[in-house]
Amino acid sequence: MRRGQLTLVSAASGVGKSAIVQAIIQRGNDHGGKNSALYFSADTDETTMWIRAACIATGYDSSGIEQMLRGDNVAGLEAEVAKATAHMAFVYNTSPSDQDVLREVEAYSVKHGVYPQIIVIDNLMNLYAGEGDEFAALQGNCDFLHELARETKAAVIALHHVTGDYSNGDKPVPRSGLRGKIDKTPEVVLTLYRINTQMFICPVKNRNGRADPRAEWQMPVFVDLARMNFQG
């Protein structure tokens, strides 16, 4: 994932694409280096995102954090989450348009004096592009995000779905498995699948280096979704 480029991260529902992208951005490089981020979470509500952030920040499991929320016993936890996500801003509009995205990006630049280094769209199908053909809308959204990356010099990361053949999430997704076949515009396309606690990241398109469109080259990652822990 590089600044000034559009990266597409695609997987079936429940595999963990939103979780791993949030964890990568929130954790940074684990040596104190973190990139500022504007995260459009159209697909996931604020409470769920907060619980995930708390898991990443503390290592607690999500059920324990939910129990603390129900007991209104999160004062210390709130401070941990605020510190861990200080470099991140979230937008929870469920169906933002391209103009909504532009307004939020400009508002961020006015507040901070610079554009965010990372912009996340979760997910591509929630980005409203008007009525009409789904393929044309998805391609239009890709074109818009590609231009946004160039204009802001941000690493734009869009999350996306896969076709029905890969909806179980337990087998490699080739480049042809993207819903809408919108693989032309992004510089990088990563597909994910998961078997129990093992997630596999497949670079099926990569203008910056090695890729395999058949998804036969894979990078394994150990996953504990209850604690939002990714190691690999």
Total number of domains constituting the chain: 1
* Residue at 1 is within a domain: no
What would the pLDDT profile of 36-92 be if each residue is shown by its tens digit? 999 999 999 999 999 999 999 999 999 999 999 999 888 889 999 999 999 999 999
Report DSSP letters for 125-188, one per residue: GGSB--SS-HHHHHHHHHHHHHHHHHHH--EEEEEE-B-GGGTTS-S---GGGBTT---SS-SE
Residue 194: strand pairing partners: 199
Closest to 142 measured CA to CA, from 160, 130, 167, 115: 160
Are the C-beta atoms of residues 168 and 183 closer than 8 Å to each other? no
* Residue at 100 is within a domain: yes
* Residue at 210 is within a domain: yes
Which helix (H) or strand (E) segment is 232 a member of?
none
Whether pLDDT at 135 is above 90: no
Looking at residue 76, its pLDDT comes to 87
**Average pLDDT of the segment spanning 147-152:** 98
Looking at residue 73, its pLDDT comes to 86
* Residue at 20 is within a domain: yes
* Residue at 222 is within a domain: yes
The CATH number of the domain where 34 resides is what?
Answer: 3.40.50.300
In this prediction the pTM is 0.96
Structure-token pair, residue 23: 């964890």
Q: What is the widest separation between alpha-carbon atoms in the chain? A: 49
Structure-token pair, residue 62: 């999500």
CA–CA dist 52, 110 (Å, integer): 28
* Residue at 172 is within a domain: yes
Looking at residue 130, its pLDDT comes to 74
Q: Which domain holds residue 77?
A: 6-231
Report DSSP letters for 71-106, one per residue: TT--HHHHHHHHHHTTTEEEE--SS-BHHHHHHHHH
Long-range Cβ contact pairs of 139-146 (< 8 A, separation 24 or more): 139/180, 139/182, 139/185, 141/98, 142/6, 142/8, 142/182, 142/184, 142/185, 142/186, 143/185, 144/98, 144/101, 145/6, 145/121, 146/6, 146/185, 146/186
* Residue at 99 is within a domain: yes
Q: What percent of the chain has pLDDT over 90?
A: 91
Query: How many angstroms separate the Cα of 27 from the Cα of each of 6, 51, 132, 199?
Result: 21, 15, 39, 18
Closest to 42 measured CA to CA, from 201, 172, 162, 159: 159
Rg, the chain, Cα only: 17
Residue reference for tokens 């861990």: 84
Q: What percent of the chain has pLDDT over 70?
A: 100
What would the pLDDT profile of 186-218 be if each residue is shown by its tens digit? 999 999 999 999 999 999 999 999 999 999 999
